Amino acid sequence: MILIFLGPPGSGKGTQAKRLTAKKNWPQLSTGDMFRANIAQKTPMGLAAKKFMDDGQLVPDEVVIGMIKARIEDPDCANGFIFDGFPRTIPQAEALDSMLAAKGLKVDRAIEFKIDDSELVGRLSGRRTCTKCGTMYHVITMPTKVDGVCDKCGGSVVQRDDDHESVIAKRLNVYHAQTAPLVAFYAGQGKLKTLDAIQPMDMVFEALQKAI
């Protein structure tokens, strides 16, 4: 099963991908997480990507496509995978179709997480993430027991550099201009399923499982 999670920043793609990975064992291929890992390791790719990410812009297509092409060759991808945040432009989607076709594979479903922008600023500006295990918290709806310390692993829990309000607005604009056209792209292929992402997380997960 090859799935694409499509939706604006904060719509819950990462939250639901983690749940589905835990249940089905399909790895979550989050291009954002891959870039953040490269940034933490100070690789040349990470340093180049950081400039775009901190400004709320997309990393250039050729960088993202090359990274994904290498990742899907890993042995854990043999039984399927979940793209979380990829593709994000029409050229990325076309490149994905070609690279999968070369392996005799195809996208099975594109899941759209549909939600109004007005809901997203609060979700993102309150989000905090563990730098060690990636567990997500929210300062109001899901705070850590001890401020800044992960309940699960004791790692440090911080705000992402791109979760400040000025950058969030830019990310939403970029989503509508460059990524939202993918909804029509996958609808045209007959692969689109749309979820109401404003519902509580458990209900979104239920709808997701029905959609796949």
Q: Which residues are catalytic?
A: 13, 88, 127, 160, 171
Smallest gap from Cβ 203 to ligand AP5, in A, equals 8
Return residues touching ligand AP5 (CB under 6 A): 7, 9-15, 30-32, 35, 52-53, 57-59, 64, 85-88, 92, 123-124, 127, 136, 138, 141-142, 162, 171, 200-201, 204
Q: Identify which of residues 91 and 212 has a Cβ nearer to ligand AP5 in the complex.
A: 91
Comparing CB distances to ligand AP5, the nearer of 2 and 104 is: 2
CB proximity list for 65: less than 8 A, separation 6 or greater:
92, 95, 96, 99
Q: Compute the least distance from the CB of residue 191 to ligand AP5, in Å.
A: 18
Tally DSSP H helices, then E strands, for the chain: 9, 8
Q: Which is nearer to ligand AP5, 86 or 185 (CB)?
A: 86
Using CA atoms, how far apart are residues 66 and 98, in angstroms rounded to an integer?
13
- Residue placing its CB nearer to ligand AP5 in the complex, 104 or 116: 116
Q: Give me 194's structure tokens.
A: 């749309």
Q: Which residue minimizes CB distance to ligand AP5?
A: 32
- Minimum gap (Å) between residue 5 Cβ and ligand AP5: 8
- Phi then psi for residue 124, to 5 deg, are -80, -40
DSSP-assigned letters across all residues of 98-124: HHHHTTT----EEEEEE--HHHHHHHH
Structural contact between residues 26 and 82, judged by C-beta atoms closer than 8 angstroms: yes
- Residue 171 neighbours by CB distance under 10 Å: 21
- CB of residue 174 to ligand AP5, shortest distance in Å: 7
